[in-house]
Amino acid sequence: MEVSDALLNEAAKIYKVLSNSGRIKILYFLENNEADVSSIVEEVNLPQPLVSRQLAMLHQYQLVSRIKKGKHVYYKLDDPHILEMVNAMLGHVSHEIKHEPHHY
């Protein structure tokens, strides 16, 4: 396959976004729920400022969209496709873990 550097860099950036379990957790929660920040905080059990920052990051890379209603800001998945990818990865690692743990 022939891939441009720009594309590779962009992909790498998104992988970086996904390289944090808190952010993945948030994406998963948003799979089924459009949710405001407080609900997300409660669900993922991380301090609110941290959640806000991670949401900002997810939003910057267009993985989630947001809509403001009064004091609340509701986030939802912007691109369900991304979760399919995460699912594929989870399948991958779950096999790996079963068959043979990493040899660190």
Residue from 14, 37, 83, 86 in contact with DNA (CB under 7 A): 37
- Residue 60 as a binder of DNA (CB under 7 A): the answer is no
- Residue 21 as a binder of its own copies (CB under 8 A): the answer is yes
Strand partners, 72: 69
- Residue 44 as a binder of DNA (CB under 7 A): the answer is no
The runs of H, that is alpha helices, within 19-79 are 21-32, 37-44, 48-60
Question: Considering only CA atoms, which of 93, 90, 83, 88 is closest in space to residue 28?
Answer: 83
Which residues of the chain form contacts with DNA (CB under 7 A)? Answer: 16, 19-20, 22, 36-38, 41, 46-50, 52-53, 55-56, 66, 68, 70-74
